[in-house]
Amino acid sequence: MDFGLTPPSAPRADKTLCDEAGVVRRADAQRLFDLAIERGIVSDSAAPDGLPKQLWAVDNHGRVFEAMYGGSVAGRYHGYPIRRSDPLFGQISAQWSRT
């Protein structure tokens, strides 16, 4: 990975969702971020600097991703895949197909 993250001291097996979804390069994450902005699939709520607090994208394999503003580093987004069992998965997939 080229995200520059510090590995956790006590990793959990369920915390590797991005690896599981195949997003292992920063360029892949940036592409998903750009697509979400292009399509306007962003939250109505905004951070203090005016950027959306959340945004969503769907990749070429139908996987849904969410990015949240702030995360572990102020002023940045932290993204992760949304599981198919999450009701938000269906909502975002449907909205994505309409845009």
Q: Which amino acid is at 75?
A: G
Place of tokens 């849904």: 64
Percentage above 90 pLDDT, the chain: 53
Strand intervals (E) in 14-58: 54-58
Position 3 pLDDT exceeds 90: no
* Mean pLDDT of the residues in the chain: 82
The CA angle 40-14-42, to the nearest 5 degrees, is: 10
Name every residue whose Cβ is closer than 8 Å to that of residue 19 and which is 6 or more positions away in sequence: 1
Q: What is the pLDDT of residues 53-86, one digit of tens each?
A: 999 999 999 999 999 998 666 778 888 899 999 9
pTM to 2 decimal places: 0.77
What distance in Å separates the CA atoms of residue 83 and residue 30, rounded to the nearest whole number? 20
pLDDT at 39: 95
In terms of average pLDDT, the best of 3-7, 24-28, 54-58, 71-75 is 54-58
